[in-house]
Structure 1
Amino acid sequence: MAEYVFILGSNWLLSIAELLVYVRNRGYEAVVTDHSRHVVVLDFTQKMTLEEIMDMQGSLGGCYKIGRVIQTYNIILPTNAYPTNGKPDREALEIINSCTWLPDLWQRPRGRKIKFGVSTYPIFDGKAPIQYRRFTRGLDDTIKKKLLQQGARKADYFAYDEPDKRRAKRVNLALWPKTIAQNNLLTPPNAEIIAAFTGNNLYIARTMVIYDSVLQQYRDESRPYISKEISTSPKVCRTLLNLAGARPGDTVLDPFCGTGTLLMEAAMLGMKCIGIDIDGDQVQGTKANLTWFGRDIGQQIHFDVFRGDARNLTNLVNKQVDAVAFEPSLGPVSRNRPTAEEAEVIIEELTELYRDSLTQIAQVLRPDGRVAMTMPVLVSKSGPVPMDIREMIKGTGLGVYRMLPAEMIKSLSNDDERMYITPEREMLPERKMGQIVQRQLIALEK
């Protein structure tokens, strides 16, 4: 048995769902043993190799870091050692500061120059019974002191305790992937240490791999064709590919390919690509992007991109595909909320578009294949107007693939309603506050 901690994206529930689908797709045996809104702990029946961990991180859209758990403390210990109210418990403080797990990171620190940093992930944002900032800086100072006492030639740590760049009110005590990469904190003898808090435990883990944000930014900004319209983010594209069960070597179809963001992510993961779009400019843009990407990575990319209507795709695609992933048209762009009646008309038209497209998709999808897609929730003046999944898939030959399987969720934190994971979900939200058109992700199976 081996425990690993995964640092989740902002949509923590979707991140966990994607991770569990990936684990099941790849034939691993693992269960969720604990989680918070920032982290999830999985217990695998076998120890993962570094190559497997790197492949996993590279494939996931909703995971920023993966670390191997080296120590677990009951949450009472850090709560007593660094209480928000009252005096610290000296005995609890001594236990945490003993850092008995240090040899797992540095067996022979003598004479070495070591750089490190502690990244703390609280249970959730907001007021907490633990002073996370004092805990993080205290652990940094303690580790440095112990390394020097053990003969390290030099020991320096990196700390990030500024407001979160995305939300100023959120406490951020975690190192950004860019900082870790620039300072080689994953190259021994250097290290990043994850301190992951849940409602029950504090997990200490050594970071094994991180999300490559620099490479992602480069690909986004350097590709030759960028649409003026808002495109699906690369992270969501990877999530869709995983929900669709796509694996290296598979042929992936995107029947609403736009500028080819999803197909580029599929190509990076070693998949063959087929794209369709009704807009000729988008088709040419996708071809340009995929050709550029192939030259950039020095590999031949297998792709076919056609101009056409997804409702008639069998006239264009004459071979079987292994997986289908896409974001379809989500309706007209508007700055003002529609009335409930207007929203219902839009949803009805989109339902027909999706049903007709899925009927065609089912004809080229392999017998055990899956489809992953987004679908809209329109926020009208009277409230949200969702789409009826059953109505959408009626007569298509596809059924709903349920996410978050109950047998894989044994989390200690599932008794907290703020973090409860409802198993066997048919859809998961991918929303941003204030948007008129919000999204849900679903998976279908043949």
Structure 2
Amino acid sequence: MKYIFILGHNPKLSIAEILAVLPQATIIEETASFLIVENKEFDGAEMLRRLGGTVKLGEIIGTQISKKVTVEHLKEIKAKTKLNFGLSYYDCKPDNLGMEIKKELKDSGVSCRLVTGKDQALSSVIVAKNKCEEFLILGKKWLGKTCAVQEFEDYSLRDYGRPRRDLKSGMMPPKLAKIMINLAQAPAGATILDPFCGSGTVLQEGLLLGHEMIGSDNSDKAISDTKSNLEWLRVNSRLEVINAKIYKTDVRQIAKTVGKVDAIVTEPYLGPALRGKEKIHEIKRIIEELSELYETAFSEFRKVLNYHGRIVIIFPAFRIGSETLELPILEKIKKLGFTQVNKEKLIYSRPGQAVWRQIYVYQA
């Protein structure tokens, strides 16, 4: 079965996640907009709920753009009222196919509405709210049909609807937390540690994926925020039990508190909030302090991580003009016995950000 994944804002990261979840998949075509793979059959809606970096998921229904195939698919749908359908174009320009399909359907007695948007691809919001049967035109080469779109309302609720949010120390988006957990490739029900748990985003997403979670932080506020947010999650989700343990401890002492774990997924302290006017020597001082923290953390991780377990961790990358300054500790981590799994840089960023999140995957 050929499946289409419409990628998020950070396509390399989205693809890395997909291949971590579907390691047996064969890549058919890869662009900055979409990924087509061959894989054994799975439930599309269930798969998309598992992924954080994929916007839409669909199935290939043709190797050429065909009005006939599209019309036949739409005629098979038994709409209770008017049939809503739409076309999204990726890596190609829109054409008049939508209007041609609409005319043929109406001539056949099918009451229908062509759903359009301001962009050449329909957003997940438009597809969901219009209950739209969406067809994907991919590079004028592949014809696909959407089977699921990202649950944007659920993500928004878990991001902005929680009782505790710490804007000062920074917030990890739930989608990114889910991506990182998937990159860990931990087995179902694995024990995952976040030793910089903050307000509990990684714990939250891990619990929803069925893992046992352990969170720790050296901040009283972080511990309080995490407990409040996980209780909110219990009340507002399908989870009957919150299978998580929370400890107040410094990462430098984590091995004295936590037993063995299957994976570590975390965003450590990324440094103080920047004003945007810092000199290079100021950034280098921050990098020196952070390097010491990260090195010590990896030394502790070595003591608690099971053999072959993975660490998925964010390093800050500081943007100063056209220059990027990173933590110079990769060789030191290697000497501690960890192997870097990701072969290319995985960046999570937005335009204009002074500090990029650079994701590393290590294996013990």
Report the TM-score when normalising by structure 1: 0.76
Cα distance between partner residues in 1 of 2:303 and 2:317: 27
Cα distance between partner residues in 2 of 1:111 and 1:240: 41
Distance 1:390-1:107 versus aligned 2 partners, 3 A rule: same
User: Can you list the C-alpha shifts for 1:369-415, whole angstroms capped at 9, x where unaligned?
Assistant: 1010110112236822112352341443321113xxxxxxxxxxxxx
Distance 1:108-1:68 versus aligned 2 partners, 3 A rule: closer
Cα distance between partner residues in 1 of 2:219 and 2:87: 48
Distance 1:122-1:7 versus aligned 2 partners, 3 A rule: same
Distance 1:256-1:144 versus aligned 2 partners, 3 A rule: same
1:49 to 31, 42, 47: 42
Contact 2:159 2:173 in 1 (8 A): no
Q: Which of 1 and 2 has higher RCO (CA within 8 Å, sep 6+)? A: 1
Distance 1:248-1:291 versus aligned 2 partners, 3 A rule: farther
Tell me the amino acid that sits aligned with residue 305 of structure 1.
I
Cα distance between partner residues in 2 of 1:99 and 1:389: 58
Aligned to 2:4: 5
Contact 2:8 2:14 in 1 (8 A): yes
Offset at 1:279?
Answer: 0.8
Distance 1:251-1:143 versus aligned 2 partners, 3 A rule: same
Contact 1:340 1:382 in 2 (8 A): no
Give unmatched runs, 5+ long, in structure 2. none
Verify: 1:279 aligned to 2:279, yes or no: no
Offset at 1:56?
Answer: 2.1
Verify: 1:146 aligned to 2:104, yes or no: yes
Give the secondary-structure state (helix, strand or coil) at the position aligned to 1:118.
Answer: strand
Cα distance between partner residues in 1 of 2:308 and 2:293: 24
Verify: 1:254 aligned to 2:194, yes or no: yes
- Number of aligned positions between the proteins: 362
- 5 Å-filtered alignment, 1:415-434, equals 424-425=343-344, 427-434=345-352
Cα distance between partner residues in 1 of 2:135 and 2:322: 48
Aligned to 1:195: 137
Tell me the amino acid that sits aligned with residue 192 of structure 1.
E
Verify: 1:62 aligned to 2:53, yes or no: yes
2:165 to 204, 221, 226: 226
Contact 2:316 2:358 in 1 (8 A): yes
Contact 1:337 1:379 in 2 (8 A): no
Distance 1:34-1:329 versus aligned 2 partners, 3 A rule: same
Contact 1:339 1:382 in 2 (8 A): no
- 5 Å-filtered alignment, 1:105-254, equals 105-107=74-76, 113-122=82-91, 132-133=93-94, 135=95, 138-152=96-110, 154-160=111-117, 162=118, 172-185=119-132, 191-197=133-139, 202-229=141-168, 230-254=170-194
User: Can you list the C-alpha shifts for 1:205-258, whole angstroms capped at 9, x where unaligned?
Assistant: 111111000111122232111113221111111111111113441111111110
2:62 to 46, 65, 71: 71
Verify: 1:309 aligned to 2:228, yes or no: no
Offset at 1:19?
Answer: 1.1
Tell me the amino acid that sits aligned with residue 280 of structure 1.
D
Cα distance between partner residues in 2 of 1:98 and 1:433: 38
User: Can you list the C-alpha shifts for 1:344-390, whole angstroms capped at 9, x where unaligned?
Assistant: 23222212211111121122112121010110112236822112352
Deviates more, 1:338-347 or 1:363-372: 338-347
- 5 Å-filtered alignment, 1:345-424, equals 345-380=285-320, 383-402=323-342, 424=343
Offset at 1:72?
Answer: 1.8
Give unmatched runs, 5+ long, in structure 1. 74-95, 124-131, 163-171, 186-190, 403-423
Cα distance between partner residues in 1 of 2:79 and 2:282: 71
Cα distance between partner residues in 2 of 1:113 and 1:224: 40
Give the secondary-structure state (helix, strand or coil) at the position aligned to 2:126.
Answer: helix
Aligned to 2:210: 270
Distance 1:315-1:158 versus aligned 2 partners, 3 A rule: same
Distance 1:321-1:173 versus aligned 2 partners, 3 A rule: same
Distance 1:149-1:49 versus aligned 2 partners, 3 A rule: farther
User: RMSD between aligned alpha carbons?
Assistant: 2.1
Contact 1:337 1:380 in 2 (8 A): no
Contact 2:155 2:175 in 1 (8 A): no
Report the TM-score when normalising by structure 2: 0.92
1:31 to 23, 26, 30: 26
Q: Give the percent of matched residue pairs that are identical in Structure 1 and Structure 2.
A: 31
Distance 1:364-1:388 versus aligned 2 partners, 3 A rule: same
1:336 to 254, 261, 276: 276
